[in-house]
Structure 1
């Protein structure tokens, strides 16, 4: 049984072999002169559409923010949010690692002090068709989507690129590695790890914990009625009014009153995502801003006038996802052998895809430990804990929820810098 499928923080690192500033004339049409309410910046931005299937009319929306300096010599990072069916513009660009944040009224932008484009070119992609501004002219696409059509999510996409390169005598796509955060890794171990997190963090009772463990067959794709009852009881009677994506921070009351997201147990988003600088209602600001006609015009977006509002996540896609792999572990093993740089990190206050779930899953890779568990530091404080294995670096980010850069932007930035450089996280 797959417990939860949620907003994943995922990115690739590519080494640039050409100057991304030397763009053809037609690509210049995608240049963003300035966004409404945007503070002045010196880096270039581009956005628009890439057609991925002409027959069915599928096109994906992208937004490229170049590095703040020496863009042609900085790596290119592709950022994807999962869900499935959630927008990298809503989350990655606007809440997590992008250069701008949106104010409460949705009227203007302000700079993100810890934007990742300080050290890399960042490409945000809304995928698959039906997410955000990405669209399809074939309505059935929205009801039979999945990992394969998405192209895939990380790490399946890394495997696709790796296999593609292996078919050629030279490297075609210079993929250096990937980093994933609070991501579903292996359904069985993730499910055990998630329930364990609920219990060890006193979210559920001993009785309910034992009931879930006894009633639920975590190896099955289907749930029993007893299992559903046990989990529903935990969520509806014991969790309380908390933000499950960040159990120690406030929930967005205004947003919850407007939209009652259903709480589900398996293969879905559980509820609303929600510290220094943390605003639990930031998702609603994005929905205000990206539905503005002047913003869409500046982004070269919604050119086909899609018959629905831009939303952070697509409930239709979420309900109709078809082909999720039960485990990423075989792909990890393959790509570790292929020599890719692989980092996995976990915000430790996320109860949706918690740190225990990821640790249980990674332990089944049976990797040799290169650098034993130690605390890493930033700003004179423990930023989290890390262990380096032969092929994978695992790190926690202390005090961060599901969207790590949203809750702990400075710590997330230090982690990203270390990933780019291939160096261990700082020990002091």
Structure 2
């Protein structure tokens, strides 16, 4: 046989094998999963009743996803809403990742799942969903609306809402996990990670600490391996100092305002807001930030709704009210498309969407909001610093990665650097750039027990701004490898 003909036949066969065996992710995503597709039957007890099959506007996909409630307190009728996506390929071999957004009072479903890292992102005006080519469900990813009062999560006992705080949230999240594992027993012993951003900078370490402490009982062991945090609130004193320094260094406030804050504010005191001069100067910082998007200082604000425009202009005043009464920071989220919050609100208040997600029967609707502002005022306890918990988790051998979008003014990169400096960790590999698609994506440094990375040109919710880059960092985190340095 002619050698050229042999080569042609061989290449043709090779191409066929590649097409059959490789099963490209892009093509596999264009089929709507139904019960029994491809012979993948649900395991007994693995969330059968919560399988989502008819989500309006959903792009076709070749993986299963589940949504519904887990009751965390039977006596009080307290239940948290979740949305769980199996990994796109070989979910039985992939780890489980829990994602939490912060606030306190903001929805992990409205932000994480459908604006940032989930496979389906809300489309313009909330009319449908579009596929996210950079979804993090390369692993099994679980989103939870926590605590009660957030999104679809609720309690039948009114007094429960009077006890909301860090400890309450951590305990309910811990109970949720064990109850969720009863729904999905095949995930019970799976390698587990917790990720989140913003005020989840407190939720995540606190939940991780609870797991580490209670894992001493082998009968309730959770195989927690690490935590991943984006633009996290870490230590109040350092966070506030970073906010002020960042605002001044990025020309948001005047030299005079900055000088007044430096002279009159003691953010390390037990009550830094007793000094009226300090309060007035910090008011001025948020007054100037109120004219732009504090969470993404170089992008536009949304003018699609009067409510949104009013929120931007009044943010500084509202912020100080909550800050003075609760000694906590304002935590309303932002995004690259400044109107994403509006899209999500429209989508999750649709009767057909609530019914498909098992959030309501489609008639008696839940009033879903992206953030529950009332929690800002009523939050009972917030630990001033996560540094002691970090030390504990490092000693326990957990993998800890922290990343910062460097155009966020709310929890700026300076706040995180100031906070981490108080750990006094030994540097194991020096500050250097990391690359994605042949460009510098940011910089990072490795410490003994912790890795810190930045995202160049990203705001508060990093995956909204740098979806491909954030997926690359997430993949490196799961593998326990540093981000690419070439």
Name the TM-score, length of structure 2 as normaliser.
0.79
1:189 is displaced (CA, Å) by 1.2
Residue pair 2:406, 2:457 contacting (<8 A) in 1 also: yes
| Partner SS for 1:163 | helix
Question: 1:379 and 1:220, CA in 2 relative to 1: closer, same or farther beyond 3 A?
Answer: same
Deviations 1:135-178 (A, max 9, x none): 1112232233011111261101001111111243x781111101
How many residues in Structure 1 have an aligned counterpart in Structure 2? 403
Offset, 1:51? 0.4
Distance in 1 (alpha carbons) for counterparts of 2:345 and 2:228: 27
Write out per-residue CA displacement over residues 156-207 of structure 1, whole angstroms, 9 at most, x where no aligned residue.
1001111111243x78111110101111111111111111111111111111
**Which segment drifts farther, 23-32 or 395-404?**
23-32
| Alpha-carbon separation, structure 1, partners of 2:368 and 2:133 | 27
Partner of residue 247, structure 1: 297
Q: Which has the larger radius of gyration?
A: 2
Cα distance in 2 for partners of 1:329, 1:21 equals 45
How much does 1:306 deviate? Answer: 7.6
DSSP-derived class of the 2:463 partner: helix
1:37 to 2:87 alignment: no
Question: What is aligned with 2:4?
Answer: none
Superposition pairs of residues 252-267 of structure 1, within 5 angstroms: 252-255=302-305, 257-258=307-308, 260-261=310-311, 262-263=315-316, 264-265=319-320, 266=323, 267=328
Partner of 1:187: 236
Quick one: structure 1 residues 307 and 291, their matched pair in 2 at CA, closer, same or farther if it must change by over 3 Å? Answer: closer
Q: Secondary structure at the match of 2:267?
A: coil
Which structure has more relative contact order (CA 8 Å, sep 6+)? It is 1
Residue 234 of structure 1 and its aligned partner are, at CA, apart by 2.6
User: Could you tell me whether the CA contact under 8 Å between 2:56 and 2:353 is conserved in 1?
Assistant: yes
Cα distance in 1, alignment partners of residues 210 and 204 from structure 2: 10
**In the alignment, which residue of structure 2 is the partner of 1:377?**
435
SS of 1:425's partner is coil
Distance 2:299 2:351 in 1: 33
Q: Does 1:362 align with 2:452?
A: no
Q: Does 1:177 align with 2:226?
A: yes
CA contact (8 A) 2:294 2:408 kept: yes
Q: Displacement of 1:406 after TM fit?
A: 0.7
Q: Flag the 1:254–1:389 CA change in 2: closer, same or farther, 3 A.
A: same
> TM-score normalised to the size of structure 1?
0.90
* Whole-angstrom distance in 2 between the partners of 1:315 and 1:218: 24
Superposed CA offset, 1:78-109 (max 9, x none): 00001101100010001110001111121111
Correspondence for 2:107: 87
**Equivalent residue runs for 1:60-71 within 5 Å:** 60-71=80-91
Please tell me whether residue 417 in structure 1 is matched to residue 472 in structure 2. Answer: no
Shift of 1:226: 1.7
- Once residues 228 and 98 of structure 1 are traced to their aligned partners in structure 2, the CA distance between those partners, rounded to angstroms, is 39
Separation in structure 1 between the aligned mates of residue 363 and residue 391 of structure 2, nearest angstrom = 44
Structure 1: gaps (5+ residues):
1-19
* Residue 280, structure 1, aligned to residue 338, structure 2: yes
How far 1:353 sits from its partner (Å)?
Answer: 0.4
The answer to whether structure 1 residue 231 and structure 2 residue 282 are counterparts is yes
| Structure with greater helix share of residues | 2
How many Å separate the matches in 2 of 1:29 and 1:98?
21
**Other-structure match for 2:196:** none
1:3 counterpart residue number: none
Per the alignment, residue 348 of structure 1 pairs with: 406
* Residues 308, 269 of structure 1: alpha-carbon distance in 2 compared, 3 angstrom cutoff: farther
2:175 is the alignment partner of 1:126:
no
State the match for 1:115 in structure 2: 135
Change in Cα spacing, 1:43 to 1:345, as seen in structure 2 (3 Å) is: same
Q: Distance in 1 between matches of 2:396 and 2:332?
A: 37
After TM superposition, give the deviation of residue 221 of structure 1 in Å. Answer: 4.2
Deviation of the 1:58 alpha carbon: 0.7
SS at match of 1:245: coil
* Secondary structure at the counterpart of residue 150 of structure 1: helix
- Mapped to 2, the partners of 1:105 and 1:331 lie a distance apart of 41
Q: Deviations over 1:118-143 (max 9, x none)?
A: x2010000000110000111223223
